[in-house]
Structure 1
Protein backbone atom coordinates (compact mmCIF):
# COMPACT_ATOMS: atom_id res chain seq x y z
CA UNK A 1 0.00 0.00 0.00
CA UNK A 2 1.43 3.32 -1.04
CA UNK A 3 1.86 5.92 1.67
CA UNK A 4 0.21 9.25 0.84
CA UNK A 5 2.55 12.18 0.49
CA UNK A 6 1.55 15.78 -0.10
CA UNK A 7 2.24 17.09 -3.56
CA UNK A 8 4.48 20.04 -4.19
CA UNK A 9 1.46 22.10 -5.21
CA UNK A 10 -0.32 21.31 -1.93
CA UNK A 11 2.77 22.15 0.11
CA UNK A 12 3.07 25.50 -1.66
CA UNK A 13 -0.64 26.21 -1.13
CA UNK A 14 -0.38 25.40 2.57
CA UNK A 15 2.71 27.58 2.92
CA UNK A 16 1.09 30.55 1.19
CA UNK A 17 -2.12 30.12 3.18
CA UNK A 18 -0.15 29.97 6.44
CA UNK A 19 1.78 33.08 5.49
CA UNK A 20 -1.41 35.00 4.68
CA UNK A 21 -2.97 33.97 7.99
CA UNK A 22 0.17 34.96 9.91
CA UNK A 23 0.31 38.34 8.19
CA UNK A 24 -3.35 38.95 8.93
CA UNK A 25 -2.89 38.05 12.60
CA UNK A 26 0.11 40.35 12.92
CA UNK A 27 -1.35 43.27 10.94
CA UNK A 28 -2.51 45.22 14.02
CA UNK A 29 0.86 44.69 15.71
CA UNK A 30 2.59 46.03 12.60
CA UNK A 31 0.25 49.04 12.50
CA UNK A 32 1.00 49.85 16.13
CA UNK A 33 4.72 49.56 15.50
CA UNK A 34 4.60 51.87 12.50
CA UNK A 35 2.47 54.41 14.36
CA UNK A 36 4.86 54.45 17.32
CA UNK A 37 8.04 54.48 15.21
CA UNK A 38 10.39 57.26 16.28
CA UNK A 39 8.56 57.78 19.56
CA UNK A 40 10.18 55.16 21.80
CA UNK A 41 13.32 55.96 23.79
CA UNK A 42 15.65 54.65 26.44
CA UNK A 43 15.52 56.62 29.71
CA UNK A 44 18.89 58.29 29.12
CA UNK A 45 17.84 59.58 25.70
CA UNK A 46 14.23 60.47 26.36
CA UNK A 47 12.85 63.92 25.52
CA UNK A 48 11.16 66.15 28.07
CA UNK A 49 7.46 66.44 28.82
CA UNK A 50 5.39 67.97 31.60
CA UNK A 51 3.89 64.65 32.68
CA UNK A 52 4.96 61.03 32.97
CA UNK A 53 2.16 58.47 32.66
CA UNK A 54 2.89 55.14 34.34
CA UNK A 55 0.70 52.20 33.31
CA UNK A 56 -0.41 49.97 36.15
CA UNK A 57 0.19 46.24 36.52
CA UNK A 58 -0.47 43.50 39.05
CA UNK A 59 0.93 43.75 42.54
CA UNK A 60 2.92 41.15 44.47
CA UNK A 61 1.00 38.77 46.76
CA UNK A 62 -0.31 40.72 49.71
CA UNK A 63 -1.13 43.74 47.57
CA UNK A 64 1.39 46.12 49.16
CA UNK A 65 4.40 45.94 46.82
CA UNK A 66 4.85 46.12 43.04
CA UNK A 67 5.94 43.11 41.04
CA UNK A 68 9.11 43.46 38.90
CA UNK A 69 7.20 44.75 35.86
CA UNK A 70 5.58 47.56 37.81
CA UNK A 71 8.65 48.25 39.94
CA UNK A 72 10.70 48.80 36.78
CA UNK A 73 8.13 51.28 35.47
CA UNK A 74 8.04 53.20 38.73
CA UNK A 75 11.84 53.30 39.05
CA UNK A 76 12.08 54.67 35.51
CA UNK A 77 9.41 57.32 36.18
CA UNK A 78 11.22 58.41 39.34
CA UNK A 79 14.48 58.68 37.39
CA UNK A 80 12.82 60.88 34.77
CA UNK A 81 11.51 63.25 37.42
CA UNK A 82 14.83 63.39 39.27
CA UNK A 83 16.62 64.10 35.97
CA UNK A 84 14.27 67.00 35.24
CA UNK A 85 12.77 65.35 32.16
CA UNK A 86 9.26 65.59 33.64
CA UNK A 87 7.61 67.40 36.50
CA UNK A 88 4.51 65.41 37.44
CA UNK A 89 3.55 61.74 37.36
CA UNK A 90 0.12 60.35 36.56
CA UNK A 91 -0.11 56.77 37.82
CA UNK A 92 -2.96 54.97 36.11
CA UNK A 93 -4.29 51.55 37.03
CA UNK A 94 -7.09 49.68 38.71
CA UNK A 95 -7.77 50.82 42.28
CA UNK A 96 -9.98 47.73 42.70
CA UNK A 97 -7.79 45.22 40.89
CA UNK A 98 -7.65 41.54 41.73
CA UNK A 99 -4.18 41.95 43.27
CA UNK A 100 -5.00 45.10 45.23
CA UNK A 101 -5.10 48.88 44.86
CA UNK A 102 -2.52 49.42 42.14
CA UNK A 103 -2.47 53.22 42.16
CA UNK A 104 -2.17 53.47 45.94
CA UNK A 105 0.90 51.23 45.93
CA UNK A 106 2.33 53.09 42.92
CA UNK A 107 1.90 56.45 44.60
CA UNK A 108 3.53 55.31 47.84
CA UNK A 109 6.44 53.74 45.98
CA UNK A 110 7.15 56.91 44.00
CA UNK A 111 6.99 59.07 47.11
CA UNK A 112 9.43 56.72 48.85
CA UNK A 113 11.81 57.03 45.89
CA UNK A 114 12.13 60.77 45.72
CA UNK A 115 9.09 62.02 43.85
CA UNK A 116 7.30 64.73 45.88
CA UNK A 117 3.78 63.67 46.79
CA UNK A 118 2.38 66.91 45.40
CA UNK A 119 3.70 65.88 41.98
CA UNK A 120 1.87 62.51 41.97
CA UNK A 121 -1.68 62.11 40.67
CA UNK A 122 -3.52 58.77 40.83
CA UNK A 123 -6.18 57.63 38.38
CA UNK A 124 -7.77 54.50 39.80
CA UNK A 125 -9.90 53.86 36.71
CA UNK A 126 -7.16 53.18 34.17
CA UNK A 127 -8.38 49.63 33.69
CA UNK A 128 -6.56 49.06 30.41
CA UNK A 129 -4.19 50.95 28.14
CA UNK A 130 -6.97 52.57 26.12
CA UNK A 131 -8.77 53.77 29.25
CA UNK A 132 -5.50 55.14 30.65
CA UNK A 133 -4.89 57.21 27.51
CA UNK A 134 -8.50 58.30 27.08
CA UNK A 135 -8.87 59.40 30.69
CA UNK A 136 -5.47 61.11 30.72
CA UNK A 137 -6.63 63.24 27.80
CA UNK A 138 -10.32 63.71 28.55
CA UNK A 139 -10.36 63.82 32.36
CA UNK A 140 -6.92 65.09 33.36
CA UNK A 141 -6.24 67.36 30.38
CA UNK A 142 -2.89 65.82 29.47
CA UNK A 143 -1.69 66.94 26.04
CA UNK A 144 2.02 66.08 26.18
CA UNK A 145 3.47 63.13 28.09
CA UNK A 146 6.13 60.49 28.44
CA UNK A 147 4.68 56.99 28.70
CA UNK A 148 6.57 54.51 30.86
CA UNK A 149 6.21 50.77 30.35
CA UNK A 150 8.24 47.82 29.14
CA UNK A 151 9.36 47.79 25.52
CA UNK A 152 6.92 45.11 24.37
CA UNK A 153 3.97 47.28 25.51
CA UNK A 154 5.16 50.72 24.40
CA UNK A 155 4.18 50.58 20.69
CA UNK A 156 0.57 49.91 21.67
CA UNK A 157 0.59 52.51 24.45
CA UNK A 158 2.17 55.19 22.26
CA UNK A 159 -0.12 54.50 19.30
CA UNK A 160 -3.24 54.63 21.48
CA UNK A 161 -2.30 57.82 23.32
CA UNK A 162 -1.20 59.61 20.15
CA UNK A 163 -4.40 58.56 18.42
CA UNK A 164 -6.40 60.06 21.30
CA UNK A 165 -4.73 63.46 21.10
CA UNK A 166 -1.73 63.18 23.42
CA UNK A 167 1.68 64.09 22.01
CA UNK A 168 3.24 61.00 23.57
CA UNK A 169 6.70 59.47 23.58
CA UNK A 170 7.44 56.13 25.17
CA UNK A 171 10.27 55.43 27.60
CA UNK A 172 11.32 51.80 28.00
CA UNK A 173 11.33 50.63 31.61
CA UNK A 174 13.71 48.08 33.06
CA UNK A 175 12.43 44.75 34.28
CA UNK A 176 15.02 43.59 36.80
CA UNK A 177 14.01 40.22 38.18
CA UNK A 178 11.52 39.46 35.41
CA UNK A 179 11.61 35.83 34.28
CA UNK A 180 12.23 35.00 30.62
CA UNK A 181 9.00 33.04 30.28
CA UNK A 182 7.02 35.99 31.69
CA UNK A 183 8.61 38.37 29.20
CA UNK A 184 7.90 35.91 26.39
CA UNK A 185 4.28 35.45 27.45
CA UNK A 186 3.66 39.19 27.64
CA UNK A 187 5.34 39.77 24.28
CA UNK A 188 3.11 37.12 22.67
CA UNK A 189 0.10 38.64 24.42
CA UNK A 190 0.61 41.82 22.41
CA UNK A 191 -0.76 40.08 19.30
CA UNK A 192 -4.36 39.71 20.58
CA UNK A 193 -3.97 43.00 22.47
CA UNK A 194 -3.20 44.63 19.13
CA UNK A 195 -6.57 43.50 17.79
CA UNK A 196 -8.29 44.97 20.83
CA UNK A 197 -6.41 48.25 20.30
CA UNK A 198 -7.67 48.39 16.72
CA UNK A 199 -11.23 47.83 17.91
CA UNK A 200 -10.93 50.45 20.65
CA UNK A 201 -9.63 53.07 18.24
CA UNK A 202 -12.10 52.21 15.46
CA UNK A 203 -15.08 52.26 17.81
CA UNK A 204 -13.80 55.34 19.68
CA UNK A 205 -15.46 53.88 22.75
CA UNK A 206 -15.72 55.78 26.02
CA UNK A 207 -13.64 54.56 28.97
CA UNK A 208 -15.17 51.97 31.28
CA UNK A 209 -15.61 54.73 33.87
CA UNK A 210 -16.31 58.30 32.78
CA UNK A 211 -15.49 61.20 35.09
CA UNK A 212 -15.77 64.99 35.01
CA UNK A 213 -12.70 67.10 34.33
CA UNK A 214 -10.06 66.80 37.04
CA UNK A 215 -7.50 69.58 37.68
CA UNK A 216 -5.08 67.55 39.80
CA UNK A 217 -2.47 67.23 37.04
CA UNK A 218 -2.60 70.97 36.41
CA UNK A 219 -2.13 71.56 40.13
CA UNK A 220 0.79 69.12 40.27
CA UNK A 221 2.54 71.08 37.51
CA UNK A 222 2.33 74.38 39.34
CA UNK A 223 5.41 75.54 41.28
Structure 2
Protein backbone atom coordinates (compact mmCIF):
# COMPACT_ATOMS: atom_id res chain seq x y z
CA UNK A 1 0.00 0.00 0.00
CA UNK A 2 1.48 3.28 -1.09
CA UNK A 3 1.32 6.28 1.28
CA UNK A 4 1.34 9.92 0.21
CA UNK A 5 4.60 11.76 0.61
CA UNK A 6 4.05 14.75 2.99
CA UNK A 7 6.53 16.74 0.90
CA UNK A 8 4.55 16.26 -2.30
CA UNK A 9 3.17 19.64 -3.48
CA UNK A 10 -0.54 20.05 -2.92
CA UNK A 11 -0.76 17.54 -0.09
CA UNK A 12 0.10 19.93 2.73
CA UNK A 13 -3.02 21.63 4.19
CA UNK A 14 -1.10 24.92 4.44
CA UNK A 15 -0.37 24.73 0.72
CA UNK A 16 -4.09 24.40 0.05
CA UNK A 17 -4.88 27.54 2.07
CA UNK A 18 -2.13 29.50 0.35
CA UNK A 19 -3.40 28.43 -3.06
CA UNK A 20 -6.90 29.58 -2.21
CA UNK A 21 -5.58 33.06 -1.36
CA UNK A 22 -3.68 33.49 -4.64
CA UNK A 23 -5.09 35.97 -7.20
CA UNK A 24 -7.32 34.33 -9.72
CA UNK A 25 -8.81 31.86 -7.32
CA UNK A 26 -12.55 31.74 -6.59
CA UNK A 27 -12.02 33.02 -3.05
CA UNK A 28 -10.12 36.11 -4.25
CA UNK A 29 -12.84 36.89 -6.77
CA UNK A 30 -15.47 36.57 -4.07
CA UNK A 31 -13.56 39.00 -1.85
CA UNK A 32 -13.51 41.60 -4.64
CA UNK A 33 -17.22 41.46 -5.41
CA UNK A 34 -18.40 43.49 -2.35
CA UNK A 35 -15.83 46.18 -3.13
CA UNK A 36 -17.05 46.40 -6.71
CA UNK A 37 -20.63 46.71 -5.52
CA UNK A 38 -19.67 49.53 -3.15
CA UNK A 39 -17.88 51.39 -5.94
CA UNK A 40 -20.84 50.91 -8.27
CA UNK A 41 -23.32 52.17 -5.68
CA UNK A 42 -21.09 55.18 -4.95
CA UNK A 43 -20.82 55.99 -8.67
CA UNK A 44 -24.59 55.74 -9.16
CA UNK A 45 -25.21 57.94 -6.10
CA UNK A 46 -22.73 60.55 -7.33
CA UNK A 47 -24.36 60.58 -10.77
CA UNK A 48 -27.79 60.98 -9.20
CA UNK A 49 -26.61 63.97 -7.16
CA UNK A 50 -25.10 65.60 -10.24
CA UNK A 51 -28.27 65.04 -12.26
CA UNK A 52 -30.41 66.41 -9.42
CA UNK A 53 -28.38 69.62 -9.29
CA UNK A 54 -28.24 70.22 -13.05
CA UNK A 55 -31.73 71.80 -13.29
CA UNK A 56 -30.90 74.05 -10.33
CA UNK A 57 -27.68 75.15 -12.01
CA UNK A 58 -29.66 75.73 -15.21
CA UNK A 59 -32.18 78.04 -13.51
CA UNK A 60 -29.42 80.04 -11.84
CA UNK A 61 -27.13 80.31 -14.87
CA UNK A 62 -29.85 81.01 -17.45
CA UNK A 63 -31.28 83.92 -15.44
CA UNK A 64 -28.05 85.48 -14.21
CA UNK A 65 -28.39 88.44 -16.56
CA UNK A 66 -32.05 89.01 -15.68
CA UNK A 67 -31.77 89.25 -11.88
CA UNK A 68 -31.10 92.66 -10.38
CA UNK A 69 -31.20 94.74 -7.24
CA UNK A 70 -34.00 97.24 -6.71
CA UNK A 71 -31.56 100.03 -7.62
CA UNK A 72 -30.38 98.53 -10.90
CA UNK A 73 -33.43 96.73 -12.27
CA UNK A 74 -34.63 98.01 -15.67
CA UNK A 75 -38.04 99.65 -15.71
CA UNK A 76 -40.95 97.39 -16.51
CA UNK A 77 -44.64 98.31 -16.73
CA UNK A 78 -45.75 95.59 -14.29
CA UNK A 79 -44.46 94.08 -11.07
CA UNK A 80 -45.55 90.48 -10.61
CA UNK A 81 -45.68 89.57 -6.92
CA UNK A 82 -45.96 85.84 -6.25
CA UNK A 83 -47.98 84.66 -3.26
CA UNK A 84 -46.35 83.12 -0.19
CA UNK A 85 -49.15 82.39 2.25
CA UNK A 86 -51.47 84.12 4.69
CA UNK A 87 -51.36 83.75 8.49
CA UNK A 88 -54.37 82.71 10.54
CA UNK A 89 -54.90 86.32 11.59
CA UNK A 90 -55.38 87.28 7.96
CA UNK A 91 -52.04 89.02 7.54
CA UNK A 92 -49.43 88.04 4.95
CA UNK A 93 -46.62 85.79 6.08
CA UNK A 94 -43.23 87.38 6.66
CA UNK A 95 -41.99 86.15 3.28
CA UNK A 96 -44.99 87.61 1.49
CA UNK A 97 -44.88 90.90 3.40
CA UNK A 98 -41.27 91.41 2.37
CA UNK A 99 -42.14 90.74 -1.27
CA UNK A 100 -44.93 93.29 -1.09
CA UNK A 101 -42.65 95.83 0.55
CA UNK A 102 -40.18 95.38 -2.30
CA UNK A 103 -42.91 95.80 -4.92
CA UNK A 104 -44.18 98.95 -3.20
CA UNK A 105 -40.66 100.39 -3.24
CA UNK A 106 -40.42 99.68 -6.97
CA UNK A 107 -43.72 101.49 -7.51
CA UNK A 108 -42.73 104.54 -5.48
CA UNK A 109 -39.38 104.68 -7.29
CA UNK A 110 -41.22 104.69 -10.66
CA UNK A 111 -39.64 101.37 -11.65
CA UNK A 112 -43.09 99.86 -12.29
CA UNK A 113 -46.51 101.36 -12.96
CA UNK A 114 -48.86 98.53 -11.99
CA UNK A 115 -48.57 95.69 -9.47
CA UNK A 116 -50.13 92.33 -10.33
CA UNK A 117 -50.56 90.26 -7.18
CA UNK A 118 -51.10 86.58 -7.82
CA UNK A 119 -52.15 84.02 -5.24
CA UNK A 120 -54.53 81.32 -4.10
CA UNK A 121 -58.24 81.90 -3.53
CA UNK A 122 -59.36 78.32 -4.15
CA UNK A 123 -61.18 77.86 -0.85
CA UNK A 124 -63.58 79.98 1.18
CA UNK A 125 -62.05 82.01 4.04
CA UNK A 126 -58.62 82.02 2.37
CA UNK A 127 -58.01 84.93 0.04
CA UNK A 128 -54.32 85.41 -0.55
CA UNK A 129 -54.81 87.90 -3.37
CA UNK A 130 -57.03 90.35 -1.48
CA UNK A 131 -54.68 90.14 1.50
CA UNK A 132 -51.81 91.18 -0.75
CA UNK A 133 -53.80 94.03 -2.28
CA UNK A 134 -54.91 95.33 1.14
CA UNK A 135 -51.32 95.29 2.37
CA UNK A 136 -50.17 97.35 -0.61
CA UNK A 137 -52.98 99.86 -0.19
CA UNK A 138 -52.05 100.25 3.48
CA UNK A 139 -48.48 100.90 2.32
CA UNK A 140 -49.72 103.75 0.14
CA UNK A 141 -50.01 102.15 -3.30
CA UNK A 142 -53.19 103.40 -5.05
CA UNK A 143 -55.84 100.71 -5.31
CA UNK A 144 -56.32 101.41 -9.02
CA UNK A 145 -52.69 100.44 -9.62
CA UNK A 146 -53.15 96.98 -8.10
CA UNK A 147 -54.60 94.05 -10.04
CA UNK A 148 -55.37 90.64 -8.55
CA UNK A 149 -55.03 87.18 -10.04
CA UNK A 150 -57.03 84.77 -7.90
CA UNK A 151 -55.87 81.56 -9.57
CA UNK A 152 -52.11 81.78 -9.24
CA UNK A 153 -51.76 78.37 -7.62
CA UNK A 154 -48.08 77.93 -8.51
CA UNK A 155 -45.19 79.90 -9.93
CA UNK A 156 -45.77 78.45 -13.40
CA UNK A 157 -49.50 79.07 -13.32
CA UNK A 158 -48.95 82.65 -12.16
CA UNK A 159 -46.54 83.27 -15.03
CA UNK A 160 -48.75 81.66 -17.68
CA UNK A 161 -51.86 83.47 -16.50
CA UNK A 162 -50.00 86.79 -16.36
CA UNK A 163 -49.12 86.35 -20.03
CA UNK A 164 -52.18 84.60 -21.43
CA UNK A 165 -54.98 86.03 -19.29
CA UNK A 166 -53.72 89.46 -18.24
CA UNK A 167 -51.70 90.21 -21.37
CA UNK A 168 -48.45 90.98 -19.55
CA UNK A 169 -45.56 91.06 -22.00
CA UNK A 170 -42.86 92.50 -19.74
CA UNK A 171 -42.63 92.38 -15.96
CA UNK A 172 -40.44 92.54 -12.90
CA UNK A 173 -40.90 89.40 -10.82
CA UNK A 174 -40.67 89.97 -7.07
CA UNK A 175 -39.88 87.17 -4.64
CA UNK A 176 -37.10 85.97 -2.30
CA UNK A 177 -33.54 85.53 -3.60
CA UNK A 178 -33.63 81.72 -3.38
CA UNK A 179 -36.88 81.57 -5.38
CA UNK A 180 -35.99 84.25 -7.92
CA UNK A 181 -33.96 82.19 -10.45
CA UNK A 182 -36.76 79.65 -10.89
CA UNK A 183 -39.46 82.33 -10.96
CA UNK A 184 -37.70 84.38 -13.63
CA UNK A 185 -36.92 81.25 -15.66
CA UNK A 186 -40.54 80.09 -15.63
CA UNK A 187 -41.91 83.52 -16.51
CA UNK A 188 -39.49 83.89 -19.40
CA UNK A 189 -40.42 80.41 -20.58
CA UNK A 190 -44.07 81.48 -20.44
CA UNK A 191 -43.34 84.29 -22.91
CA UNK A 192 -42.82 87.26 -20.58
CA UNK A 193 -39.80 89.55 -20.94
CA UNK A 194 -39.14 89.07 -17.25
CA UNK A 195 -36.49 90.48 -14.98
CA UNK A 196 -36.39 89.88 -11.25
CA UNK A 197 -35.77 91.66 -7.98
CA UNK A 198 -35.25 89.68 -4.80
CA UNK A 199 -36.11 90.56 -1.27
CA UNK A 200 -32.92 89.77 0.60
CA UNK A 201 -33.96 91.09 4.01
CA UNK A 202 -34.30 87.58 5.46
CA UNK A 203 -30.73 86.49 4.81
CA UNK A 204 -29.94 86.84 8.48
CA UNK A 205 -32.63 84.26 9.24
CA UNK A 206 -30.36 81.30 8.63
CA UNK A 207 -32.96 78.55 8.80
CA UNK A 208 -35.35 80.22 6.37
CA UNK A 209 -32.57 80.97 3.91
CA UNK A 210 -30.93 77.53 4.04
CA UNK A 211 -34.29 75.77 3.80
CA UNK A 212 -35.29 77.98 0.89
CA UNK A 213 -32.18 77.19 -1.13
CA UNK A 214 -32.37 73.47 -0.37
CA UNK A 215 -36.01 73.40 -1.41
CA UNK A 216 -35.08 74.92 -4.76
CA UNK A 217 -33.03 71.87 -5.78
CA UNK A 218 -36.02 69.50 -6.23
CA UNK A 219 -38.21 72.42 -7.28
CA UNK A 220 -35.84 73.14 -10.15
CA UNK A 221 -36.19 69.53 -11.32
CA UNK A 222 -39.95 70.01 -11.45
CA UNK A 223 -39.49 73.35 -13.20
CA UNK A 224 -37.40 71.73 -15.93
CA UNK A 225 -40.18 69.21 -16.52
CA UNK A 226 -42.73 72.01 -16.59
CA UNK A 227 -40.81 73.94 -19.22
CA UNK A 228 -40.60 70.83 -21.37
CA UNK A 229 -44.22 69.75 -20.97
CA UNK A 230 -45.79 73.23 -20.65
CA UNK A 231 -48.96 72.15 -18.80
CA UNK A 232 -52.04 74.34 -18.91
CA UNK A 233 -52.96 76.21 -15.71
CA UNK A 234 -55.72 74.85 -13.51
CA UNK A 235 -57.88 77.77 -14.66
CA UNK A 236 -57.21 79.80 -17.76
CA UNK A 237 -60.53 81.46 -18.46
CA UNK A 238 -61.32 84.62 -20.36
CA UNK A 239 -58.98 87.52 -20.87
CA UNK A 240 -58.72 89.99 -18.01
CA UNK A 241 -58.21 93.67 -18.87
CA UNK A 242 -57.27 94.89 -15.41
CA UNK A 243 -53.57 95.34 -16.09
CA UNK A 244 -54.10 97.05 -19.45
CA UNK A 245 -56.77 99.34 -17.99
CA UNK A 246 -54.47 100.32 -15.12
CA UNK A 247 -51.61 100.99 -17.53
CA UNK A 248 -53.90 103.12 -19.69
CA UNK A 249 -54.99 105.10 -16.64
CA UNK A 250 -51.36 105.58 -15.67
CA UNK A 251 -50.52 106.87 -19.15
CA UNK A 252 -53.41 109.34 -18.94
CA UNK A 253 -52.34 110.49 -15.48
CA UNK A 254 -48.77 111.16 -16.68
CA UNK A 255 -49.85 113.18 -19.71
CA UNK A 256 -49.35 110.48 -22.29
CA UNK A 257 -45.96 109.31 -21.03
CA UNK A 258 -45.68 105.56 -20.52
CA UNK A 259 -42.63 104.23 -18.70
TM-score (norm 2): 0.78
Q: Aligned pair 1:205/2:231, yes or no?
A: yes
Counterpart of 1:38 in structure 2 is 65
Quote the offset at 1:10 in angstroms.
6.5
Partner of 1:143: 169
Summarize the alignment of residues 71-220 of structure 1 with structure 2, pairs less than 5 Å apart: 71-96=97-122, 100-176=126-202, 179-220=205-246
Q: Partners of 2:166 and 2:94 in 1: how far apart?
A: 27
Does the aligned pair in 1 maintain the 2:202–2:208 contact within 8 Å? no
**Equivalent residue number for residue 25 of structure 1:** 52
Over 3 Å counting, the alpha-carbon distance change for 1:97 and 1:171 in structure 2 is farther
Aligned to 1:26, the other structure's residue is in SS state: helix
Moved more, 201-210 or 132-141: 201-210
Uncovered stretches (5+) of structure 2, i.e. residues with no partner: 1-30, 251-259
Of stretches 128-137 and 23-32 in structure 1, the one that deviates more from structure 2 is: 23-32
Deviations 1:27-54 (A, max 9, x none): 2111211221211111122111000000
Deviations for 1:183-210, whole angstroms, at most 9, x for unmatched residues? 2222211122112212221111110111
Q: Give distance in 2, aligned partners of 1:213 and 1:35.
A: 30
Unaligned stretches of 5+ residues in structure 1: none
Aligned-pair RMSD on alpha carbons?
A: 2.3
What TM-score, normalized to structure 1? 0.90
- Most deviating of 90-99 and 53-62: 90-99
SS of structure 2 residue aligned to 1:140 = coil
- Cα deviation, 1:102-133, whole Å, max 9, x if unaligned, reads 11110000011121100000001000000000
> Which of 1 and 2 has greater Rg?
2
1:40-83 Cα distance to aligned partner (Å, 9 max, x none): 11112211100000000111222x21111001100000000000
Moved over 6 A (4+): 4-11
Match of 1:45, SS state, is coil
Higher deviation after alignment, 73-82 or 96-105: 96-105
Q: 1:175 to 1:94 in 2, by over 3 A?
A: farther
Of 67, 91, 94, the residue aligned with 1:68 is: 94
Which structure ranks higher in relative contact order (CA pairs < 8 Å, sequence separation ≥ 6)? 1
How many positions carry a matched residue from both structures? 219
Question: Residue 59 of structure 1 aligns with which residue?
Answer: 86
